[in-house]
Amino acid sequence: MSKKEITENIKEFALKLGYTNCGFSKAEELTKNKESLINAINNGYTAEMAYLQNNLEKRANPTVLIENAKTVISVLLSYYPQQIENSSDYKISAYAHGNDYHEIMHELLNKLFEKIKEEIPAVNGRTFCDSGPVFERAWAEKSGLGWIGKNNLLINPTVGSFVIIGEIIIDHELEYDSPIEEQCGTCTLCINACPTHALTPYSLNATKCISYATNSSKSENISDFFIGKIKNEIYGCDICQAICPYNKEINNSFNKFFNQNEYVNWEKKDWENLTEEKFTKVFEKTTIKSMGFKRLKRNVNFVKNNIKVTK
Ligand code: SF4
Ligand code: SF4
């Protein structure tokens, strides 16, 4: 079978699995992304994410990460939520409205990899989704699945930016896709909407980002910097996605795997009265579980007190 036929078969199977998009890139060093990351580290924009400084060469170059790497296959999985703008009750980022995307993505990636092995029996490779040093957005962009917008997220012109990105890096050459044009144009809606001014076009200062502060940061307390800025986000922040014109009027049927869990519609008192026992039970299958009860409580308490401070 020709490279072209194998590539088409893999793409077709990926779409059958439920991915909205699948694209291929030559595995090679991403020099520009490496430079941007070094600049972000030097500017202190990467906050507590010390792991970004490790494995820099592997992150920048899949041929260092995987022996003989030739192709990076990128896929998109839509988690377009039933409701983006919800009530004034505490907000959970849309990617956590359903069950843990890591598990869903890895199950699908494994199925896709099995298909690749059928097509190329001698293939070697590895699957990734938040699970290794890979510039996920950059690979998706290079493979023509969208462009990295001024909000620093991958935007696909049809399915928007509420997507999870996954990759399979393999040691066989296939047919490569080309990037599409950047389509933010003169729009600056996300930059203007960000309550903490964490965004400059195409760059994010994680130390100012609500998503980082309420999810990734392991600090015991949320910094006073966020007083008056975090309104009701208790896990992540979708403000710069919700405002983006490319996320309006998205066909909900793109989201095939993420049902909305009932805690999305909890009232404030449900979060404020949450016990550790209930946390363990309710969030068992979600990404919120990995943050742990204490950090979720930290966030709820911060927002609750913050609302009092800013009244
Ligand atoms: S996630 Fe929220 S805080 Fe972070 S850049 Fe976007 S709007 Fe700003
Ligand atoms: S809101 Fe506008 S500038 Fe920001 S990512 Fe979307 S299109 Fe680009």
pLDDT tens-place string over residues 225-253: 999 999 999 999 999 999 999 999 898 89
Q: Give distance in angstroms: CA of 133 to centre of ligand 2.
A: 26
In this prediction, residue 307 carries a pLDDT of: 67
Q: Give distance in angstroms: CA of 14 to centre of ligand 1.
A: 31
CB atoms inside a 10 Å sphere around CB 266:
16
The answer to whether residue 86 scores a pLDDT higher than 70 is no
Q: How distant, in Å, are the alpha carbons of 19, 46, 65, 76, 128 from that of 108?
A: 9, 30, 22, 11, 11
Please tell me if the CB atom of residue 239 comes closer than 6 angstroms to any atom of ligand 1. Answer: yes
- pLDDT above 90: percentage of residues in the chain: 85
Number of the ligand closest to the Cα of 155? 2
Q: What is the mean pLDDT of residues 243-267?
A: 93
Ligand 2 pocket: which of 246, 247, 248, 249 to mutate (most atoms within 8 A of CB): 246
Q: What is the mean pLDDT of residues 77-103?
A: 89
Complete DSSP assignment for the chain: --HHHHHHHHHHHHHHHT-SEEEEEE----HHHHHHHHHHHHTTTTTT-GGGTTTHHHHH-HHHHSTT--EEEEEEEE---S-SS--SS-EE-GGGSSS-HHHHHHHHHHHHHHHHHHHSTT--EEEESSSSS--HHHHHHHTTS-EE-TTSSEEBTTTBS-EEEEEEEESS--PPP-PPPP--TT--HHHHH-TT--EETTEE-GGG-HHIIIII---SS--GGGTTT-SSEEE---HHHHT-GGGTT--GGG--S-PPPGGGG--HHHHHT--HHHHHHHTTTSTHHHH-HHHHHHHHHHHHHHHHHH-
Position with higher pLDDT, 127 vs 202: 127
CB 20 within 8 A of CB 254: yes
- Catalytic status, residue 224: no
Residues 236 and 221: their CA atoms lie apart, in Å, by: 16
Please tell me if the CB atom of residue 209 comes closer than 6 angstroms to any atom of ligand 1. Answer: yes
Q: Is 310 exposed, middle or buried (0-12, 13-18, 19+ CB in 10 A)?
A: exposed
Atom of ligand 1 nearest to the CA of 236: 1
pLDDT digits (tens, 9 = 90+) for 91-121: 999 999 999 999 999 999 999 999 999 999 9
Look at ligand 1, atom 6, and give the residue with the nearest C-alpha: 240
**Structural domain boundaries in the chain:** 3-83+93-170, 194-237+260-310
Q: Give distance in angstroms: CA of 85 to centre of ligand 2.
A: 17
In this prediction, residue 311 carries a pLDDT of: 40
Q: Is 185 left (phi over 0), alpha (psi -120 to 50) or beta?
A: left
First CA to last CA distance, the chain: 67
Of the candidates 47, 52, 25, which has an alpha carbon nearest to the alpha carbon of residue 37?
Answer: 52
CATH number of 3-83+93-170: 3.40.109
Of the candidates 70, 26, 28, which has an alpha carbon nearest to the alpha carbon of residue 179?
Answer: 26
Lowest mean pLDDT among 115-119, 174-178, 192-196, 250-254: 250-254
Q: What is the mean pLDDT of the chain?
A: 94
Residues 287 and 284: their CA atoms lie apart, in Å, by: 8
pLDDT digits (tens, 9 = 90+) for 40-56: 888 888 877 777 778 88
Residues 141 and 162: their CA atoms lie apart, in Å, by: 15
CB 178 within 8 A of CB 145: no
In this prediction, residue 87 carries a pLDDT of: 62
Please tell me if the CB atom of residue 44 comes closer than 6 angstroms to any atom of ligand 2. Answer: no
